[in-house]
Amino acid sequence: MGYKETYNRWLTSDAVDDDTKAELRAIADNEKEIEERFYRDLEFGTAGMRGILGAGTNRLNIYNVRQASQGVAKYVKSRGEDAAKAGVLIGYDTRNFSRVFAEETAKVLTAAGVKAYLFPIVHSVPEVSFGIRELGCAAGVMITASHNPKEYNGYKVYGPDGGQLPPDAADVVVAAINSYDIFDDVKYISLDEAKEKGLLEIPGSELDEKFLDVVQTQQQNPEAVTAVADTFKLIYTPLHGTGSRPVQAILKRIGFKNVLVVKEQDTEDGNFPTVVSPNPENKEAFDIAIEMAKQNDVDVIIGTDPDCDRVGIVVRDADGVYRTLTGNQTGALLVEYILRSKKEKGVLPADGVVIKTIVTTELAAAIAESYGVEVMNVLTGFKYIGEKMTEFAEKKNHTYLIGFEESYGYLVGTHARDKDGVVATMLIAEMAAYYKTKGMSLYEALMDVYKRYGYYAEKTVSFTMPGKDGMEKMAALLKGLRENPPVKAAGMDIVLYTDYQSQTVKDTKGNVKPLTGLPKSNVLKYNLSDDKTYFIVRPSGTEPKIKIYLGTFADSFEAATAEIEKVLADCKEQFGLN
């Protein structure tokens, strides 16, 4: 069925509500908009679905949320009666329609005979991941689009370990979803009927308290907080998201007395009125907090995104300037802090492991190596870190210490299998207190890390390519890079080509070795002849973007940064990006 036929079906179907039909009639004269909304189904990948809110198969709405939930129900029931009884935990963030989509999910699951646990209020990603494990659920669903702009929402599916579904399980769910017609095959009941049948349960606040209990166990130096609590001040902003309740609670629990909250951003508002995008990667999101910091003599600002799985920080440098740290810099600080703390206390395990993604800073590897700790690289996406954690738990062959990715996601502790902005905020705040007891700021601690391990610099640049044309352009770019690979960048030869899709590593002489240990992924990596600079090209799995990740190290941060900029400029010119 073509896009126009699908559009007309939505307009005439009795299953579609009047408001949705009115939205579609309003674009009747806009052929390009009709095509954009209906030329494909919203893709359901290993991170679930994420898309712009609205009517259409290529938009997120109650109809494809119900269809996805029907597929999840089939997946759970295929694992046996016990799985259906164990049920699915459903969480949701502060975005527009999040509560609605969560309720629709519960209606479909319970109609299929699968028990549903539906949180009564907004909850963060780590609380959902923890809750799945604590309740012994067969799966979980989180309604969120993470740090995307207000126009977006999403539907993430988790396995019984609390991690996002790995590719093989996601394929099963996708097949189940595709086996159902979006209208004719989807069944649902009311929440009242689900309760009467004993298929719907509302988790109480005791689950939230258990989550905070386990997060608190990850403190490294509780005495540092006690030592500076009377004078130490920090600013926290939830960016209109789910972090407000758990983050403020954990900071209070561990003894911080002077936590200033950005009140303008401490509201559950899916329109995110104070920011362009609720993304702690963007300094703009911290504008209000920085003004507060200047007025209150604050050294560190911490912000979490709407589903509280990502954390960004702003620190004050030696000249009093407030600077945002990258995810790589914050991750490196946390790795150094955790390994140092455990070594000082004599509890650093011999089989300890730090896990990072292939696009994440090599500074973490240099730090871990200095402590005799192994580093493992996984594909981009925290689900791959979660997979390793579950493997460690089953085989009992390694001790997980910290996992992180450059996109501002960190997890310390094994209570969850996804990024945890609550535990990360707690440890960043504690880390700042620890360094204050040493007479240092977090900025000075970062400079010390560079002095000890080398001046590593990284940069991630995104090129947005929206719509059908953008999808085609991204595919053509990756195809062109494979068929006619670049040979130089910034005057240096490219000496090693790694293709994670074909699972090969090729050198300039044509020698090819298999890439082992990682699943296939549409990612290309290029190593340059200076033996320290690289760049990676990867299409985003959640947004219509091509991303270029660059990294190197040098004798100074300025030199490393300058080298990155030269390589980036060359890449943009060669690849036709701007």
Active site residues: 146
CA angle 45, 49, 51 (to 5 degrees): 130
Q: How far apart are CA 90 and CA 359, in angstroms?
A: 31
The one-letter code for the residue type at 328 is N
Q: What letter does residue 316 receive in the DSSP assignment?
A: E
The one-letter code for the residue type at 306 is P
DSSP secondary structure string, 108-121? HHHHTT--EEE-SS
- Which residue spans within 77-171 are E strands per DSSP? 88-92, 116-118, 139-143, 152-158
Structural contact between residues 422 and 413, judged by C-beta atoms closer than 8 angstroms: no
Using CA of residue 224, residue 225, residue 230, residue 234, what is the dihedral sign? positive
**24 phi and psi, to 5 degrees?**
-75, -35
3-10: which pairs have CB atoms within 8 A and are 24 or more residues apart?
3/34, 3/35, 3/37, 3/38, 3/39, 4/34, 4/38, 6/38, 6/57, 7/34, 7/37, 7/38, 7/56, 10/38, 10/55, 10/56
Q: By CB neighbour count within 10 A (0-12 exposed, 13-18 middle, 19+ buried), where does 27 fall? A: middle
Residues 6+ apart with CB under 8 A from 341: 220, 221, 434
Q: How far apart are CA 93 and CA 354, in angstroms?
A: 29
536-541: which pairs have CB atoms within 8 A and are 24 or more residues apart?
536/358, 536/359, 537/477, 537/478, 537/481, 537/575, 538/359, 538/380, 539/474, 539/478, 540/462, 541/45, 541/46, 541/47, 541/380, 541/381
For the beta carbon of residue 212, count every other beta carbon within 10 angstroms. 20
What SS3 class is residue 570?
helix
Closest CA to 197 of 115, 253, 126: 115
Q: What letter does residue 101 receive in the DSSP assignment?
A: H
Closest CA to 332 of 238, 433, 441, 452: 452
Q: How far apart are CA 401 and CA 389, in angstroms?
A: 10
**120 phi and psi, to 5 degrees?**
-80, -20
Q: How many residues does the chain have?
A: 578
